[in-house]
Amino acid sequence: MSKYVGIGYRKDFGSAFLESDILDPAFVEVAPENWVDVGGYWKKELSKVANKFPIYTHGLSLSIGSPDPIDWGFLKRIKAFIQEWDVQVYSEHLSYSKCDNAHIYDLLPIPFREDAVKHISQRIKEVQDFLGRKLVIEIVSYYTPVAAEMSEVEFINSILKESDCELLFDINNIYVNAFNHNYDPKQFIEQLDLSSVKYIHMAGHEKVSDDLIIDTHGQAIIDPVYDLFEHAISKLNEPVPVLLERDFNIPEMEELAIEMNRLEGICQKQWSHESCIA
């Protein structure tokens, strides 16, 4: 069984995921939006999954960076879901997906600005108070900055400092952003407040042109992202859980197992003297 590496649970895995031990993750991650208020077949499958593995969540619709008010009604249902399934981690995205009272259903980039830092930090604190736990917030990939007045890393560090939340360190997103916006990912990591890192994501992406990568989670992780991962975790003070995200173009489980084993190997090499996390 993996000590450090988990997998995003997909309905596409079907029953083979539970019936075989090809994948033996340390935990599984689900998007609560796909499971809240769901009964029938999928609820039964989720209970089997939850009986076997710890559940982590990665939310999609909190829209923490939105100008719109927080949807407390939905957050209440998320809270109930967290309790029902004994969820270990509730993570979300540093982005917005709702505006002018309309859901957009994707992650939009927030202007890197001081007023946005204040706005978001205040909201993160309110959410943390409501849930009675820290929010683990993810650095998202983006294809253009919008109306930025500070650097991305300043923006993220300021929010971490002001809101006292935790960081979901998505290494692929950092790689994608560095490529798309022409900066050095290692330098970015150097500047980032790594003391807040509680969770890592790893994924594949698609290079669509000479200067643009789209963060599809539809391909295998590429070597430079493994290298960046190894570099990044060497900077951390303690082991954290690592997730393999694969949302589209789901391959055979054997292929995912190869990726998970490679990640696990890197973690073991780095952290073998530490205790396990899940």
Chain residues binding other proteins by CB under 8 A are 33-34, 36-44, 60-61, 65-69, 71, 74, 96, 98-106, 108-111, 113, 115-116, 118-119, 122-123, 143-148, 180-181, 212, 214
Q: b/e per residue, 125-153, with b = 16+ CB within 10 A?
A: eebbeebebbbbbbbbbbeebeebeeebb
Give me 74's structure tokens.
């939905």
Nearer to other proteins (CB atom), residue 103 or residue 274: 103
Nearer to Fe ion (CB atom), residue 201 or residue 205: 201
Nearer to other proteins (CB atom), residue 180 or residue 196: 180
Phi–psi pair at 185, nearest 5 degrees: -60, -35
Residue 262 as a binder of Fe ion (CB under 5 A): the answer is no
Q: Which residue has the tokens 């083979």?
A: 16
Contacts of 80 (CB under 8 A, 6+ apart): none
Residue 170 as a binder of Fe ion (CB under 5 A): the answer is yes
From the list Fe ion, other proteins, none, partner contacted by residue 19 (C-beta under 5 to 8 A by kind): none
Nearer to Fe ion (CB atom), residue 201 or residue 246: 201
Alpha-carbon dihedral angle through residues 98, 103, 109, 110, given to the nearest 10 degrees: -10
- DSSP letters for 205-258: -EEEETTEEE--S-SPPPHHHHHHHHHHHTT-SS---EEEE--SS---HHHHHH
From the list other proteins, Fe ion, none, partner contacted by residue 34 (C-beta under 5 to 8 A by kind): other proteins
From the list other proteins, Fe ion, none, partner contacted by residue 44 (C-beta under 5 to 8 A by kind): other proteins
Q: Which of residues 220-249 bind Fe ion (CB under 5 A)?
A: none
Cα separation of 262 and 159, whole Å? 32
Residue 205 as a binder of Fe ion (CB under 5 A): the answer is no
- Judge whether 273 and 237 are in contact, CB under 8 Å: no
Cα separation of 174 and 28, whole Å? 22
Nearer to other proteins (CB atom), residue 97 or residue 196: 97
- We find the least distance from the C-beta atom of residue 107 to other proteins, in angstroms, to be 9
Would you give the distance in Å from CA 250 to the centre of its chain? Answer: 18
From the list other proteins, Fe ion, none, partner contacted by residue 170 (C-beta under 5 to 8 A by kind): Fe ion
From the list other proteins, Fe ion, none, partner contacted by residue 201 (C-beta under 5 to 8 A by kind): Fe ion
From the list Fe ion, other proteins, none, partner contacted by residue 221 (C-beta under 5 to 8 A by kind): none
- We find the least distance from the C-beta atom of residue 104 to other proteins, in angstroms, to be 5
- We find the least distance from the C-beta atom of residue 102 to other proteins, in angstroms, to be 4
- Judge whether 14 and 272 are in contact, CB under 8 Å: no
Nearer to other proteins (CB atom), residue 145 or residue 236: 145
Nearer to other proteins (CB atom), residue 39 or residue 132: 39
Residues lying near Fe ion in the complex (CB under 5 A):
170, 201
